[in-house]
Structure 1
Amino acid sequence: MNISRVFSLAALFLLAPVAGAETREYRYSDAHLHYVDFFQETDGMQKLLEAMDAGGIDHVMISGIPVAKKWHENEPKRPRYYAGDDAPVYWYSATDVLVAAALEELDDKRRKRFHPFLSGFNPNDKNADAHIRRMLELHPGLWQGLGEIFTRHDDVTALTEGDTPRANNEALARVYHLAAEFDLPVMLHSNITSKRERNPLYLVELEEPLRNHPHTRFIWAHAGTSMELHRHQEKLTFLHETVSRLLDDYPNLYIDLSWTMLKPYLLDEQDKPDPKWVALAKRHPTRFVIGSDVVGRFENLATGMHAFAPFLDALPEDVARGIARDNFLALLPSKRQDELR
């Protein structure tokens, strides 16, 4: 046999597993998407559906934004973002009405791709659980989860009118009990620390509900990170150790790996996966989901989801496909999972 042919065949077999990883194509569930922005405006359902089809996104967790940005009387120009000026944001329940109205315009086939989470309530108000119950009754069978609930959220917290929400307050304890009653997962934004403290300063605010509500499924948005935290602390050095312990201790905790987790945690600047986070995902293969966290604008939806591919490619294929798509679906109420089979 020609010796060059032998080497060529050997090289082919050696490269085959690598090539397979490089050519994986994923189907996605976006586990964290806001249909509207902080002004309760949106690109609309048609553009969202087009972006989903372009990105291979089969399913979407869709929610509103629980606060609205005020255009203050003294500001001559309308702000473009919640941090655009010092005007406050305020709790805005109609955000859920906007989401429900958009979904009700769809036919059954397209509507099954969306999994709406109810978010328009004040987490400091002990009436919140009663409001949620009314919304569940008003739209029977529509809502499939609660959140994203804003608690500690750096500048959003600073701008929100009223008291600072805490994930372990009495009002939210009532909400968590209701979530367990209706088999609804809860997506919770609770920053792990402040801009300045290089330790898990606010961790107790998350850990207390995890311990006290074992029958409630919690999705921790961005694992407690945020863009603003990273502006002041490029990387939270204690995050991996903390997340690892929490996953070991609380089987009702799930981690949302939306965009602020991508870098500098899952990937470095050269898109090389971090071995520690790869190992953690292998150890807890069903406990991670990914999301875009887009807010009312969908032109970058596909790009945001596909950015996770280098991390997914470093995982066993079944684990990668679970994180990309199926883990989120497994978090939904059991009735919804039956309908998707």
Structure 2
Amino acid sequence: MPRLHRGFVYLLTGLFGLVAEAREYVYTDAHLHYVDFFQESEGMDKLLEQMDAHNIRHVMISGIPVAKKWHENEPRRPRYYAGDDAGAYWYSGTDHILAHALQQLDEQQRRRFHPFLSGFNPNDKNSDEHIRRLLEMYPGFWQGIGEVFTRHDDLTALTQSETPRANSEAMQRIYLLAAEHDLPVMIHSNITSKRERNPLYLPELEEALRDHPTVRFIWAHAGTSKEIHRHQEKLDFLFDELKRMLGLYPNLFIDLSWTMLEPYLLDEKGEPDPRWVELVNKHPDRFMIGSDVVGDFRSLGKNMQEFDVFLDALAEDVAHRVAGDNFLQVLGEAFRPER
């Protein structure tokens, strides 16, 4: 069933004598990649144009920690990391590409961006020292770490490395560094594999949450992915596990970017799921939304506004927190914008 545009719904309610006031949201995009998997971008001018056009005041911005290889034997360059069987490799240059782009902006523009450092191998126990060097090289610049790619289905299989885990020794060292510098960590750690109908990989993330209680973890997509949904339309255990974890770990924050919108936040009719509405209302500071665009910003406004129907179902103060404030409050105190 096609989803009705929000403005049309308000028009209908008005015609039938009901009172409905459209909410206007000021968005913070809590999950945006400046470059794609080939380390290319439309550029800051296009990004700012889309932000201004769609009421997006702040953006979490990062590179992409891997680069997709155009293999010698492939006659055509792939358009995405899953476009062919060529591998991907950890790419530290992504942070410098991002830093250079942000440094070209004036101070007022730059304050709207919250750069996270991502260009490192989460299996390499040298990575914490690499991150430390980047923090020193760009003093006062980096506001978080991530998106860290650990369990990431087909991308993990294509990346030329051992399978990265949220509880690897290398990541444990990075969490200690994050705590030292008061940096949140955004981590992509799938809750399960493409075919297992149980939270197969969840203990890896839970170990990190338990052992590093002073680190604020942002769980990208709450452990879901497009590839998981291609094989399993919906993870029936996700809601109960997430509810349990939010009660256990006060350092856990949830990024609801696009793979969470359907089939979880909205049902098959495009209506907000009451269980998820209740959960977000119960934990009003723990959820945030993001576009997860990668270097191409044309769909940025659409991706953010698609959350409106769910936001409208929340208590109004909670909705504004989820749309804009919650990500900003997860940042270290020195980086939180003045309200």
TM-score interval, smaller chain? over 0.9
Partner of 1:49: 48
- The answer to whether residue 330 in structure 2 is matched with residue 340 in structure 1 is no
Partner of 1:281: 280
Partner of 1:123: 122
- The answer to whether residue 211 in structure 2 is matched with residue 200 in structure 1 is no
Per-residue deviation, 1:15: 2.3
Partner of 2:18: 15
Residues 95-110 of structure 1 correspond to what in structure 2 (within 5 A)? 95-110=94-109
What's the secondary structure of 1:303's corresponding residue? helix
Give the counterpart letter for 1:208 in structure 2. E
Q: Deviations over 1:162-216 (max 9, x none)?
A: 1000000100000001001100000000000001100000000100000000000
Per-residue deviation, 1:317: 0.5
Partner of 1:4: none
What's the secondary structure of 2:146's corresponding residue? strand
CA distance in 2, matches of 1:185, 1:15: 44
Unaligned runs of 5+ residues in structure 1 are: 1-10
Partner of 1:73: 72
Partner of 1:137: 136
Per-residue deviation, 1:14: 7.3
Per-residue deviation, 1:13: 12
Give the counterpart letter for 1:309 in structure 2. D
> TM-score, normalized by length of structure 2?
0.95
CA distance in 1, matches of 2:314, 2:17: 19
CA distance in 2, matches of 1:289, 1:148: 15
Q: Which has the higher helix share?
A: 1
Per-residue deviation, 1:268: 1.8
CA distance in 2, matches of 1:132, 1:14: 59
What's the secondary structure of 2:325's corresponding residue? helix
Q: Deviations over 1:110-137 (max 9, x none)?
A: 0000000000000000000000000000
What's the secondary structure of 2:18's corresponding residue? helix
CA distance in 2, matches of 1:181, 1:108: 27
Partner of 1:157: 156
> TM-score, normalized by length of structure 1?
0.94
Unaligned runs of 5+ residues in structure 2 are: 1-13
- The answer to whether residue 26 in structure 2 is matched with residue 27 in structure 1 is yes
CA distance in 2, matches of 1:63, 1:300: 17
Give the counterpart letter for 2:316 in structure 1. E
What's the secondary structure of 1:87's corresponding residue? coil
Partner of 2:235: 236
CA distance in 1, matches of 2:319, 2:17: 22
CA distance in 2, matches of 1:132, 1:266: 35
CA distance in 1, matches of 2:338, 2:148: 26
CA distance in 2, matches of 1:242, 1:269: 22
RMSD: 1.2
Partner of 1:168: 167
Q: Deviations over 1:44-72 (max 9, x none)?
A: 00000001011110000000000000011
CA distance in 2, matches of 1:202, 1:261: 18
What's the secondary structure of 1:166's corresponding residue? coil
CA distance in 2, matches of 1:303, 1:12: 27
Partner of 1:325: 324
CA distance in 2, matches of 1:197, 1:24: 40
Give the counterpart letter for 2:287 in structure 1. F
CA distance in 1, matches of 2:233, 2:51: 31
CA distance in 1, matches of 2:208, 2:135: 23
Give the counterpart letter for 2:323 in structure 1. A
Which of the two has higher C-alpha Rg? 1
Partner of 2:4: none
CA distance in 1, matches of 2:134, 2:161: 23
Give the counterpart letter for 2:197 in structure 1. R
What's the secondary structure of 1:97's corresponding residue? helix
Give the counterpart letter for 2:134 in structure 1. M
* Percentage identity across paired residues of the two chains: 70
Per-residue deviation, 1:12: 9.9
CA distance in 1, matches of 2:16, 2:231: 47
- The answer to whether residue 282 in structure 2 is matched with residue 249 in structure 1 is no
